[in-house]
Amino acid sequence: MKSQRLIPLIIATTAGLLLAHSGVELGPNGGRILEFSDNETIHGEVTVKDGHFHIAVLDKDMKPIVVDQQSLTATTGDRKAPVKLEVSRNAKGFNVPLVKAGEWLILRYKKNADAKAITARLEYDTATCGECKNPEWLCKCKPE
């Protein structure tokens, strides 16, 4: 009998955890941090400027790294029919066209031509967080 009463409680608690959002790591320029290494020594900071994503490359201390040998590829769209995005590079990072709200941006970063590619994913959720008032993809709220 008690187990029948516990089941709805467990389901409600689990559903609440799944629906709750958690904050993301933000970089020194207020952008979203993505991992560009297996050991947290290289990061990408994604910001939006002039209708493009700007991806700055940062070291383990969140200091900018000059972009010279690094490469980045970007895709979006349906997994069955991904769309490759044009990526431009300058000394401060990479520029990628914005994806539609709610779509995923898939980035593949390589430290140099011989390095293994590291994949990072970002859901471009532009809905406003009710607590911190930022777009969800830049939510500052702490995990519950």
Looking at residue 4, its pLDDT comes to: 57
| Helix%, strand%, coil% for the chain, nearest 5 | 15, 40, 50
pLDDT band at residue 91 using 50, 70 and 90 as cut-offs: confident
If one counts the domains in the chain, the total is: 1
Q: Is residue 83 part of a domain?
A: yes
Question: Do the Cβ atoms of 135 and 127 come closer than 8 Å?
Answer: yes
Single-letter code of the amino acid located at 102: G
Question: Do the Cβ atoms of 93 and 56 come closer than 8 Å?
Answer: yes
pLDDT band at residue 121 using 50, 70 and 90 as cut-offs: very high
Looking at residue 22, its pLDDT comes to: 56
Q: Is residue 49 part of a domain?
A: yes
Report the CATH number at residue 93.
Answer: 2.60.40
Q: Is the pLDDT of residue 13 over 80?
A: no
Q: Is residue 105 part of a domain?
A: yes
Closest listed residue to residue 41, CA positions, set 19, 53, 58: 58
Looking at residue 93, its pLDDT comes to: 95
Q: Is residue 32 part of a domain?
A: yes
Average pLDDT of the chain is 86
The residues pairing with 104 across neighbouring beta strands, listed in sequence order, are: 123
Higher pLDDT, 93 or 5: 93
Residues 6+ apart with CB under 8 A from 9: none
How confident is the model over 80-93, as a mean pLDDT?
93
The b-or-e profile of 62-72 (16+ CB within 10 A means b, else e) is: eeebebeebbb
For 113, the domain range is 23-138
